[in-house]
A and B are shown apart, each in its own frame.
Chain A
Amino acid sequence: MDLSGRKILITGASGFVGSRICERLYLGSDAKPTALIRNIGKASRIGRMRIPMVKGDVLDPALMDRLIGDAEIVIHLVAGSRQSIVDGTRLVARLCRKHKVARFVHMSSAAVYGIQANEDHTTEDAPLRKTGNPYSDAKIEAEIVVRKETEKGLSSVVLRPRIIWGPYSSWVQSFYHQVTDNAFCLVDDGKGACNTIFIDNLVDATLLSIANDKAVGNVFFVTDDEKISWREFYGRWASFLGQEVRFLSVDSSRYSAPGGKPGLLRETKAFLASPAWKTLLMEAPVVNRLSREVFGFLSRLPEERKISIKDWLGVDRPEKNLRYPKDPLVTLDPARIQRESGRGYTNIEKIKTRIGYRPRVDFRTGSELTREWLAFAGFLG
């Protein structure tokens, strides 16, 4: 299918993926994209071009009926709440079938197998299993919705990326903010599988899913097809700073299993380490004095000793950056520990053989493009 002159509706267009799809379509093709935006303020990147924008919500039946009725292709990228992901997909997919759109590309996620990339979830046909993570579970429900509509005749393609990176990526921005705040650390020394996909590779896969009719009815994993560890991933961003960033690490085995309930001991330790406990202590004069002495004692301990105590308390250890020798107490997102401790690399043979996807941008080239953007955007000083 040739994209030229085609009317393409992009839901969730203001996000990282949607903005780049808009750029690629508007600047590099004769397709006619329309961007559906919920919050106009977040659409600034698209605002650099005269792409028709519509302010609205995928949950609005009348609006979606009108927009999809006018579109030939729909690229569905909506994220956010469970309602947006599941009910929004249900409405959009149903309307796409009703209006017989030529292609409906649903941007799912490899997180349908949980946010941890395990070695037994590396091909598309592994059974979906809810893990208790709200995002993963919502993505599963949305895929099921699409599958049902596809069985009724919807011309769909489902893509499952995992770690989408590149210029403007929140992963990269977040890394620099954490380093600046002296709040970065690796999980398991960064040995986990990163399963990256450079933003332009994902856009290529999306456009190929539209262009190649053999894609219809399929679910595809999509990655850069390079085995990049989290240490290599973050290490690359650190190298751009032009000075040494020492990575500390947390051990994922110290944290409860995915979906596991925190026990009383763990909750107590977490409370003892929390700012709330410290505040409470300060309100009692006697304890105040005692606690000041305890905290004073702790603050004088050697750095490595402090880290081990915080580790014992269950407080995730922040990265120690040589440039900022402060010592903040930072809580690491448990989801991040899960995500970065998985060791499974995703197999993308299906998308390669079925529709001829080849990642065009390798890690080195993508890193260089990202570095140029980071320098422009002021992240590198």
Chain B
Amino acid sequence: MRIKTAVIGCGAITRLSHLPSILQNPRFELVALVDPDLDAGRRLNQVFGISVPLKSDMRDLPLTDAAVVAVPPHLHHDLCTALLGKGIHVLCEKPMATNVGEGKGMVRAAQAGKAVLLVGMQKQYCPNTLLLKEILKDGMLGKIKAVKLISAVKSQWDTANLNRFNPDHSRGGVLFESGIHWIYRVVYWFGYPKRIHYADDRFDGVEVNALIDATFDAYEQEISGSIYFSWDHKLHGNKITIFGENGVAEVLEDDNSSVYVTREIHGGKKIMEIRDHPGKEKVDLFELQMDRFAECIEERNPVPETTVVALDALRFVEECYLHRVPVRQPWVYHGIDQGRRI
């Protein structure tokens, strides 16, 4: 029996990722596209050559087993709790909510409604997410001393609206919107940090550069971590590097499969590429996500581990914002003698 599924929100992420992965998955049957802008739904029908019923109002939602929620984050809580309360399984785009209180409310709604709440943290499906955890557990790096994460990618994501830069609608910028993918993995690999120092470059908008110093208790040791996210320029070598006493492990931003371990062998540094499968096949994270969503529904597991980690990632972000200090930006203030809004 196919899972009747509605897609709520017909923006760029639905067009580029959710819809293709739903349509190719035989376990799902698309029953409705919901968006206040009916033209957005019409365009999707046209682009994909389908004729799915269009709805502009959630109250007209037809009978459905599941929903993919791809609307701005400030709408997640009310929408998802309403759906979950009706027993409708939800795959909710990241970040799951704008604050932890809302996130916990969504989890409670899932438990009460006995419906699955899965959060769209697609990086969890990268084969190297699990692989690095196994490597860390295995101890092949020896005692882990430090972690360094750099993700500086010039933003090109052309959204249909301006919500992304509206702090009233989006809790934050690079950390909240895209950095949370890495934060999810960091929490998955090292647990929730015991100390966080955070600085960013926003004025009264959203942050575009974010710097985090965090300390973790993991693998029976204290690990210091430094994290840098940016949306306004691209750096070569975006990756997380784990420095151990016996070697260094790296997971690259644009490689979902491999972990690269550098160790000294016979006095020379050697790089090993470690994968959990031999092929070079492309990994489609959204397709894997839909498979996982179907599994969770079959398992009748309302709050899978992913959702718990996603909630911790949100807590991490919230704590960053709570302790936020502004970064020093002399290149901005130079030439602004009497900054009237600073």
- Asked whether any CB of chain A lies closer than 8 Å to the CB of B5, the reply is no
Give the number of residues in A that approach B within 8 Å (Cβ atoms): 42
Which stretch in A102-110, A287-295, A373-381 binds the other chain?
A373-381
A47 close to B204 (CB less than 8 A): no
Q: Known contacts A28-B337, A361-B334: does B232 contact A55 (CB below 8 Å)? A: no
A164-175: CB near B (< 8 Å → 1, else 0) gives 001110000100
Return the chain A residue nearest B163 by Cβ.
Answer: A40
Name the contact of A27 in the complex, choosing from B154, B164, B339 (C-beta under 8 A).
B339
Return the chain A residue nearest B168 by Cβ.
Answer: A50
Residues of B within 8 A of A53 (CB): 162, 165
- Asked whether any CB of chain A lies closer than 8 Å to the CB of B335, the reply is yes
Residues of A within 8 A of B203 (CB): 26-27, 48-50
Q: Known contacts A28-B336, A28-B337, A177-B236: does B164 contact A377 (CB below 8 Å)? A: no
- Asked whether any CB of chain B lies closer than 8 Å to the CB of A360, the reply is yes
- Asked whether any CB of chain A lies closer than 8 Å to the CB of B161, the reply is yes
- Asked whether any CB of chain A lies closer than 8 Å to the CB of B312, the reply is no
- Asked whether any CB of chain A lies closer than 8 Å to the CB of B230, the reply is yes
B145-158: CB near A (< 8 Å → 1, else 0) gives 00000101011111
Residues of B within 8 A of A26 (CB): 203, 341
A168 close to B233 (CB less than 8 A): yes
Residues of B within 8 A of A39 (CB): 156, 158
- Asked whether any CB of chain A lies closer than 8 Å to the CB of B208, the reply is yes
B317-339: CB near A (< 8 Å → 1, else 0) gives 00000000001011111111111
Residues of B within 8 A of A181 (CB): 236
A376 close to B327 (CB less than 8 A): yes
B201 close to A30 (CB less than 8 A): no
- Asked whether any CB of chain A lies closer than 8 Å to the CB of B198, the reply is no
- Asked whether any CB of chain B lies closer than 8 Å to the CB of A340, the reply is no
A200 close to B335 (CB less than 8 A): yes
Q: Known contacts A48-B206, A50-B205, A377-B209: does B173 contact A41 (CB below 8 Å)? A: no
Return the chain A residue nearest B12 by Cβ.
Answer: A41
Return the chain B residue nearest A172 by Cβ.
Answer: B233
Q: Known contacts A27-B341, A373-B331, A376-B209: does B204 contact A50 (CB below 8 Å)? A: yes
- Asked whether any CB of chain B lies closer than 8 Å to the CB of A239, the reply is no
A27 close to B336 (CB less than 8 A): yes
Shortest CB distance B15–A (Å): 15
A28 close to B330 (CB less than 8 A): no
Shortest CB distance B66–A (Å): 30
B335 close to A24 (CB less than 8 A): yes
- Asked whether any CB of chain B lies closer than 8 Å to the CB of A243, the reply is no
Residues of A within 8 A of B342 (CB): 27
Q: Known contacts A30-B340, A361-B335: does B235 contact A378 (CB below 8 Å)? A: yes
Return the chain B residue nearest A200 by Cβ.
Answer: B335
B155 close to A42 (CB less than 8 A): yes
A45 close to B208 (CB less than 8 A): yes
B165 close to A28 (CB less than 8 A): no
- Asked whether any CB of chain A lies closer than 8 Å to the CB of B221, the reply is no
- Asked whether any CB of chain A lies closer than 8 Å to the CB of B239, the reply is no
A23 and B329 alpha carbons, distance in the complex (Å)? 12
A377 close to B336 (CB less than 8 A): no
A40 close to B165 (CB less than 8 A): yes
- Asked whether any CB of chain B lies closer than 8 Å to the CB of A315, the reply is no
B339 close to A378 (CB less than 8 A): no
- Asked whether any CB of chain B lies closer than 8 Å to the CB of A369, the reply is yes
Q: Known contacts A369-B334, A373-B331, A379-B235: does B340 contact A49 (CB below 8 Å)? A: no
- Asked whether any CB of chain A lies closer than 8 Å to the CB of B4, the reply is no
A378 close to B330 (CB less than 8 A): no
A203 and B236 alpha carbons, distance in the complex (Å)? 30
Shortest CB distance A376–B (Å): 7
Name the contact of A46 in the complex, choosing from B165, B234, B329, B338 (C-beta under 8 A).
B165
- Asked whether any CB of chain B lies closer than 8 Å to the CB of A370, the reply is yes
B165 close to A47 (CB less than 8 A): yes
A7 and B161 alpha carbons, distance in the complex (Å)? 23
- Asked whether any CB of chain B lies closer than 8 Å to the CB of A36, the reply is no
- Asked whether any CB of chain A lies closer than 8 Å to the CB of B228, the reply is yes
B331 close to A55 (CB less than 8 A): no
Q: Known contacts A48-B203, A204-B335: does B158 contact A29 (CB below 8 Å)? A: no
- Asked whether any CB of chain B lies closer than 8 Å to the CB of A180, the reply is yes
Name the contact of A28 in the complex, choosing from B209, B233, B329, B338 (C-beta under 8 A).
B338
Q: Known contacts A49-B204, A166-B331, A377-B152: does B232 contact A44 (CB below 8 Å)? A: yes
Q: Which of A27, A200, A361 has the most CB of B within 10 A?
A: A27
A203 and B205 alpha carbons, distance in the complex (Å)? 22
- Asked whether any CB of chain B lies closer than 8 Å to the CB of A58, the reply is no
Shortest CB distance A46–B (Å): 7
Residues of A within 8 A of B161 (CB): 40, 55
Q: Known contacts A166-B331, A203-B335, A369-B334: does B173 contact A44 (CB below 8 Å)? A: yes
- Asked whether any CB of chain B lies closer than 8 Å to the CB of A372, the reply is yes
A177 and B237 alpha carbons, distance in the complex (Å)? 11
- Asked whether any CB of chain B lies closer than 8 Å to the CB of A186, the reply is no
Which residues of A line the B interface, CB within 8 A?
Answer: 23-24, 26-30, 39-51, 53, 55, 166-168, 173, 177, 180-181, 200, 203-204, 360-361, 369-370, 372-373, 376-379
- Interface pairs A-B: 4 shortest CB-CB: A47-B165, A28-B336, A41-B157, A167-B331
23 contacts between A and B (CB under 8 A): A23-B336, A24-B335, A26-B341, A27-B333, A27-B341, A27-B342, A28-B339, A30-B340, A40-B157, A40-B159, A41-B155, A41-B157, A42-B156, A44-B208, A44-B232, A48-B202, A48-B203, A48-B205, A51-B205, A167-B331, A361-B334, A377-B235, A378-B230
5 more contacts with CB within 8 A, not counting A49-B203, A49-B205, A53-B165, are A24-B335, A27-B341, A28-B339, A48-B203, A203-B335
